[in-house]
Structure 1
Amino acid sequence: MASERSIEAGYRDFGPLARAAFAEITETAAVLDAG
């Protein structure tokens, strides 16, 4: 499927933002669990 390549390319560009957001969410969840 040709769309898979564009999705992968888009994810590659979005990756750093996604990882930062995921790290923030994970950190918040850990704080809430500890609280």
Structure 2
Amino acid sequence: HKRIQTFITTTDIHDFKDLKSVQFISCEGGKVQYGQP
């Protein structure tokens, strides 16, 4: 899957309380997942 490094500044993300800790977005099977490398 692809890993896209980005800085997330959207209020639509509720999976992480600290958005600054999110380092990449991975898109798998149409599902967008956020996490740390």
Tell me the TM-score range normalised by the shorter chain: under 0.3
Structure of higher CA gyration radius: 1
- TM-score, reference length from structure 2: 0.21
Structure ranking higher in helix proportion: 1
- Name the TM-score, length of structure 1 as normaliser: 0.21
- Judging by fraction of residues, say which structure has more strand: 2
